[in-house]
Amino acid sequence: MYDGLSRPQCSVLTQLRISHIGLNSFLHCFHLGPSPNCTHCHVPETASHFVLACPLCCQQHLELIHKVGTAHLSLWLLLGVNSDPKPVLVFVCDNGRRLC
């Protein structure tokens, strides 16, 4: 599943899979963030919201849909055992957030 990926890339994928990544919903649980909500749209900033729904990343979502080949995205589909993790890694690392 992680063949050919660097340790930091594997770490990001694992953190996304278990929702333990530096997004507000997780950080807030440990009092490391003022709110669990997305600073852009004020809903809980979860891995699913960040990768699939946040309007702030609209252009990156379109690129992800194009690379994956379907508009019916889910974290399960993107991070599943049989999926190619590279489009998700590009999305996460190129969006301006310090998650990589």
Look at the alpha carbons of 53, 23, 12, 80 in this order and tell me if their dihedral is positive or negative.
Answer: negative
| Average pLDDT of span 65-77 | 90
- Cα–Cα–Cα angle for 99, 59, 46, nearest 5°? 40
Reported as a single tens digit per residue, the pLDDT across 18-38 is: 999 999 999 999 999 999 999
| Average pLDDT of span 59-82 | 90
Q: How far apart are CA 97 and CA 100, in angstroms?
A: 8
Parse the chain into domains and list their residue ranges. 7-93
Q: What is the band of 81 on the pLDDT scale with cuts at 50, 70, 90? A: confident
Q: Using DSSP, state whether 44 is helix, strand or coil.
A: strand
Q: What is the pLDDT of residue 93?
A: 86
